[in-house]
Chains A and B, each alone.
Chain A
C-alpha cells in the first residue's frame, strides 16, 4: 500500500523507482516488483500520464444518456464501446436513462455529430446529450 501511494505520482527524475525505494527504505527491485504485481492484479490499471484534455483543446465532452430496454443493454453497450471516439461507456442504475457514454471532441459540433452518428446506429429514440458548461473539478483517483 505504501508503494501504491508513492507510484501514483512518479518523481520526474532519471530514476523514479529508485527515489521511491530510498524514501521507503526498500530496494528499487521491491518497488518494481510490487508495481508489476499490482498491475497484474488489476489494482493498477496502467502506468501512464493523466492528461488535462481541456488544456489541449478537447473542450467538448458531452455525456450522452440513453434509455435502453434491459434486454438490449449488453448488445448496445458493447457496440457503443467499440466505436471510435468513445472514451467511457457504462450501464448505470438510479435513473430512467440507463446507458451512459462519453466522447471527447475538439468542438461542440463535431462531438454532437459523432454522438448522433453513433446513436443512429443503435435505433434508440430516447436519449439526451448533456454538454459540460464548466469544469469545477477533475482529478485522478488517488489513495
Chain B
C-alpha cells in the first residue's frame, strides 16, 4: 500500500529565502566539502583549490557564515564515538499546539533537528545526550509537559551518513 501525504501538492508553509551564490562561492564551498586540511594555513590551501587567495577565501567564508549559508566550518563530531546516545523521536501534536510544543522541544540543547512533517506523527526531532538517563529524563519531561506520548526510534544500524551536496 502506498500512503501519500494528505496534502500532497500543497505549497509548503515556510517561505524560503534563497541566496544566490557566485561562481567563486560555489568553488569555495566545494573546496571546503572536500575536507579542510589539518595544516597551519588551512584556508590558504582551501583558497588555492578554489582559485582564490588566502585573504579572499577567509573573507568569503566569513561572509557565507554571516549570511547563514554556512553554519560553521570545523570538526564534525561522531557523538557515538564519544559514547553519547541519541534517538529520533516523534510526537503527534494537535495543530493548535504545534508552535508551543516545537518551542518546548527546541529548548533542549541536545535537540539538533526538529521538523514539522506531513502525516502523523507530525513533529520529528533528534536528541543526543551524554547518557541514556539524561535522554530518558528529557523525553519523559516532554511527555509530561504535553500529555502526549513520544515515540523513540533509535538507530540500530547505520547504512549511510554523509551529506555532500552538488553545489
The DSSP consensus for interface residues of chain B is mixed
Beyond A56-B21, A137-B106, whether A130 also contacts B5 by CB under 8 A is yes
A47 touching B76 by the CB < 8 A rule? yes
B residues contacting A by CB (< 8 A) are 1-5, 12-14, 16-19, 21, 29, 32-33, 35-44, 54-55, 58, 61-62, 65, 67-79, 81-82, 84, 87-88, 102-103, 105-106, 111-119, 123-125, 128, 151-163, 165, 167
Question: CA–CA, A50 to B2, complex, Å?
Answer: 34
A113 within 8 Å of B by Cβ? no
CB within 8 Å: A-B pair count: 249
Question: CA–CA, A128 to B112, complex, Å?
Answer: 23
B36 touching A10 by the CB < 8 A rule? yes
A44 touching B76 by the CB < 8 A rule? yes
Beyond A130-B124, A134-B115, A136-B105, whether A73 also contacts B157 by CB under 8 A is yes
Partner of B16, one of A28, A51, A54, A104: A54
Partner of A104, one of B14, B117, B163: B163
Nearest opposing residue in chain B for A20, CB measure: B74
A133 touching B12 by the CB < 8 A rule? yes
Question: CA–CA, A128 to B118, complex, Å?
Answer: 10
Question: CA–CA, A14 to B119, complex, Å?
Answer: 48
Write 22 A-B pairs (CB below 8 A) sorted by A numbering. A4-B75, A9-B72, A10-B42, A10-B73, A16-B43, A43-B81, A48-B32, A48-B36, A63-B124, A81-B160, A91-B155, A92-B88, A100-B88, A129-B4, A130-B124, A133-B117, A133-B118, A134-B14, A136-B114, A136-B115, A139-B71, A139-B113
